[in-house]
Structure 1
Amino acid sequence: MNTPNKLTIARIIMIPFFVAFLMYDITGSADKWIALAIFVIASLTDLLDGYLARKYHLVTNFGKFMDPLADKLLVCSALICFTSTGQLPAWITIIIIAREFIISGFRLIAADNGIVIAASYWGKFKTVSQMIMIILMIMNIQNTVFQGAITVFVVIAVALTVISLVDYILKNKNVLSMQD
């Protein structure tokens, strides 16, 4: 197993620890900061594994499948936690998770037809905005400016989620016609 794939596996392994520190009182007031550190490290492994895979030609079928899955698991875990604590309305979590299921379905249909659908810039912007939103929500500093920033990034993340979905469907609508 190559280094990028090991980083992807490490990201998946970090998720339960992230959730535990985010949701449970393990160390007291340090919990959210530990959760934040785990989330940031996990997010950085996403950048690093992609960089290494492309630079050193270490792209594998395992990585093509597991890397986006690891990202989805990390982001969706955070969103579900925020919904369960009341920090994030369920409809936002549902929109973001539904988008991920729809795109995954498209990718499976495309792969079944021998087509690889690359991530678009809209999808990359969506991921970055979601990760910034999650980082801010973990920090959850109680002042008007910070809470305003969280609201702005929630709006940006939802907007980019919808925009990237529409862009993805429009660019790849031919995949659906292959199923007739």
Structure 2
Amino acid sequence: MNLANRITLARIFLVPIIMFFLLVNVKFPHIRIEQFSITYNQIIAALIFIVAASTDSLDGYIARKRKLVSNLGKLLDPLADKLLVSAVLVSLVEMGKVGAWIAIVIISREFAVTGLRQIALLEGHVIAASKWGKWKTATQITAIIALLINNFPFAFINFRFDIVASWVAAIITIYSGLDYFMKNKHVINFNEQKQ
């Protein structure tokens, strides 16, 4: 197994660690400053999430630079991304920090685009990541970090950046999903006969 795939696997293994710090009922102390409060376990989870999210670019860069692109990497990389984002979103819903509908929209889009890519592969096409797909990832990560750190530092000026970022992520997620389907509708053959 090459270095890029090991980094991708490390991202997958970080998912349950993040969830542990978010969901396991351990009495971690709080940091309180005026109207802002956060637990140490949230800070730890946020830091691990940032490290895990940053490995997405790192493994791809290493794979391309060292010519280590493999079929295993093509499978693991998007799987790791979806596991990371989905697990943290579900945890944030459980914690009451984000609406379930936002998590459902984001996770549903990931399943839909993955399905489209699988159909394309069966037809001999490869659907590359689009600029809207990259924007989707960036806005989702920004929103998740803002939610994990309890809207710091915007809490001090009573601006709900975490909520705004969540809405922006949901809107761009929907748009990027529609963009993938509109640009690749030729891949889906609705008139195909069952055998």
TM-score, normalised via structure 1 length:
0.94
Aligned partners of 1:129 and 1:156 also within 8 Å: yes
Segments ≥4 residues shifted beyond 4 Å: none
Find the partner of 1:37 among 17, 30, 47.
Answer: 47
Give the corresponding residue for 1:153: 165
Runs of 5+ consecutive residues of structure 2 not aligned to the other structure: 29-38
Structure 1 pair 178–66 and aligned structure 2 pair: CA distance change class (3 A): farther
Match of 2:6 in 1: 6
Point out the structure with the larger helix share.
Answer: 1
CA distance in structure 2 between the partners assigned to 1:23 and 1:95 by the alignment: 22
Identify which of 181, 186, 190 aligns with 1:169. 181
Aligned pairs for 1:8-87 within 5 A: 8-26=8-26, 28=28, 29-87=39-97
Structure 1, unaligned runs of 5 or more: none
The alpha carbon displacement at 1:147 in A equals 5.0
Q: CA RMSD in A?
A: 1.6
Is this contact kept in 1: 2:151–2:161, CA < 8 A?
no
The structure-2 alpha-carbon separation of the partners of 1:132 and 1:123, relative to structure 1 and needing over 3 Å to count, comes to: same
Question: AA paired with 2:6?
Answer: K
TM-score after normalising by structure 2: 0.87
Larger Rg: 2
Identity score, percent: 43
Q: Which has the larger strand fraction?
A: 2
Would you say how many aligned residue pairs link Structure 1 and Structure 2? 180
